[in-house]
Structure formats: C-alpha cells, structure tokens
C-alpha cells in the first residue's frame, strides 16, 4: 500500500503518522519526506503493508492531519492508461513493448490517434486502436469524440505519446494532474511547435526533452522529469531531432514509472518527486 500526503507543515507529523500506522498493525517499508520551508509545506510518501482497511486508515489519518491535507491511499493496483498519438511511433513503441512484457507498471487499455498511421503497430500488440480524425471538425467536436472514447475505458492516466494537438481547458479539467505529455525540448525553452528547429536557429549546445502534466498553459505544466544531451555546430535541425528521439522515449518512460508508483506530488505548478 502506498500512502501519499501533502499538507501544512507542523511539528510531529512524522511521529503521528508512524503512530497511526503502528496502531493499525501496519509495517512501514519505506518513508520519504520533504518540507518546502518557503510555505512551509510537508510532503511524504509511505510504503507499508498490513491488514488495515484503507477507508478506516484514511479516516484516522485525516482526523490527525492539519485541515486541508491532501491524502491518497493506493493499495498497489496496476494503473490503467489510454495513450494518445499522432504519427510518430517511438514513444508508443516503447510503451507497447513494456506493456507486452509486463514491465510498464500499468495496463494499456487503448490507443487513440488522429491519424491511422499507428493502428497496425498497436494491433500487433493486441491493443485496440481508435482513429478519431480532427479534419473538418471544430476543436470542441474533435475533443468531445476523444473524451467519449477515453471515458469508455475510465483510465487512471491519459498519456500523450507525441500527440501533436493542443488540448482545451475543458479537456484538461476532466483529468487534472492525470494527463502526461512528452515535449521535445528542455522546457521552459522552445515551447510550442518545432522546438528542434527553434533550438537550431538559436545555436544551442544542449537539447533535451521534458515530461510534464498538461495544464491550460501550453507546455507550462508541472515538470516531472527532464534529460539533456550535448550538441554542437555540426548538428542540423534534422540531426537534433534524430538525436532527441531516444531522449524523448527515455524521459517519458521514467515519468510514467514515477506516476504509476505514486511518486509524484503536485503542488501549484511544481512537483515533488520521490525516487
């Protein structure tokens, strides 16, 4: 069982949480905590096992914690995800392989694409693929069709594996802190479209990728993880893009693993990531 808490910091929080778990016959396997002194705010992730009923434990913890505490208790089920794609296969391929060999930490329920390019790839792995074209439709109609399909599966997370469409606020608010995107830039640099060409034009010496939660602000949601590699004057925009594909895949895979293991706490536009 994973217990994740964030709340106003006070003296005695660790002692009190530990006491409640001990009284509930719960064995603490690991406890990771962090305090942001600027607020101050307390964050903790606890792995434990024992016979307690999660609803009973939740009540006891909330009775102890400061008012307004955010608490989740996850009894270790595999997460369920729906993946949104456009035409690029590298991130989806990695997800499908991990899913096939049971190393993803989640179950891929379906893939939805606004083009049919990746249907064959998905179906080779036995994953349903739904083509929902954006052409000739308003944004509202297009997103309503996607949401209807997603809602059918009721996933824990929606993963944008190179889904090259900007989502509206009404879409995002249905899955707060549950839509994970991979952006091919070391944010906050080069937001929006074609960041490799932007990077090339700027003459950068480092390129990277960023996995983040999607919010209403383009490529400005809470960052989960990032990675960079060096480049030099010999790289064209195409060379940068080719080099960046492996970074994108690795960064998204790491972010998904963190999310599926309940290791990310979102507060405002920042994250606390327990690894």
Does 193 have pLDDT greater than 80?
no
CATH number for 11 = 3.30.70.260
Alpha helices in the chain (DSSP H): 13-23, 54-64, 90-100, 119-124, 139-153, 169-172, 195-202, 237-260
163 confidence band (pLDDT: 50, 70, 90): very high
Kindly state whether residues 197 and 112 are assigned to the same domain: yes
d(Cα 114, Cα 129) in Å, to the nearest integer? 11
Kindly state whether residues 86 and 217 are assigned to the same domain: yes
Kindly state whether residues 234 and 259 are assigned to the same domain: yes
The mean-pLDDT minimum among 74-88, 126-140, 186-200 falls in 186-200
Kindly state whether residues 108 and 57 are assigned to the same domain: no
Catalytic residues, by residue number, are 219
For 238, half-sphere exposure in the C-beta direction (CA atoms, 13 angstrom radius) is 0
d(Cα 95, Cα 253) in Å, to the nearest integer? 7
pLDDT of residue 265: 97
Per-residue pLDDT tens over the stretch 44-68: 999 999 888 999 999 999 999 999 9
pLDDT of residue 35: 97
Domain finish residue from 39, 74, 109: 74
* 4 in Cβ contact with 45 (< 8 Å): yes
* 207 in Cβ contact with 228 (< 8 Å): yes
Rounded to two decimals, the pTM is: 0.92
Per-residue pLDDT tens over the stretch 90-135: 999 999 999 999 999 999 999 999 999 999 999 999 999 999 999 9
Kindly state whether residues 61 and 91 are assigned to the same domain: no
Kindly state whether residues 125 and 196 are assigned to the same domain: yes
pLDDT of residue 194: 80
Count of domains observed in the chain: 2
The domain in which residue 156 lies consists of 79-273
The mean of the pLDDT values for the chain is: 93
Domain finish residue from 12, 41, 74: 74
Domain finish residue from 74, 91, 114: 74
Mean pLDDT in residue range 173-186: 90
85 has which bridge partners? 113
Kindly state whether residues 167 and 191 are assigned to the same domain: yes
């Amino acid at each position: 069982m994973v217990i994740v808490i964030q709340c106003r910091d006070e003296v005695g929080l660790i002692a009190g949480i530990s006491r409640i778990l001990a009284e509930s016959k719960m064995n603490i396997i690991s406890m990771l905590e962090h305090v942001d002194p600027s607020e101050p705010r307390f964050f903790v992730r606890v792995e434990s096992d024992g016979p307690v009923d999660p609803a009973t434990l939740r009540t006891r913890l909330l009775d102890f914690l400061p008012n307004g505490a955010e608490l989740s208790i996850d009894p270790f089920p595999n997460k369920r995800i729906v993946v949104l794609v456009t035409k690029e296969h590298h991130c989806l391929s990695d997800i499908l392989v991990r899913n096939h060999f049971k190393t993803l930490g989640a179950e891929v329920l379906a893939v939805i694409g606004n083009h049919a390019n990746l249907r064959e790839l998905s179906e080779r792995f036995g994953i349903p693929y739904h083509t929902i074209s954006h052409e000739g439709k308003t944004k509202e109609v297009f997103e309503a069709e996607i949401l209807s399909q997603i809602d059918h599966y009721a996933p824990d997370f929606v993963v944008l594996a190179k889904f090259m469409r900007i989502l509206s606020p009404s879409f995002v608010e249905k899955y707060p802190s549950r839509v994970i995107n991979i952006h091919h830039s070391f944010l906050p640099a080069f937001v929006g479209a074609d960041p490799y060409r932007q990077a090339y034009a700027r003459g950068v010496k480092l390129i990277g990728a960023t996995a983040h939660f999607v919010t209403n602000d383009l490529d400005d949601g809470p960052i989960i993880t990032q990675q960079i590699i060096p480049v030099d004057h010999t790289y064209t925009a195409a060379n940068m893009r080719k080099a960046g594909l492996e970074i994108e895949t690795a960064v998204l895979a790491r972010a998904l693993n963190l999310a599926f293991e309940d290791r990310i706490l979102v507060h405002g536009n920042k994250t606390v990531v327990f690894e």
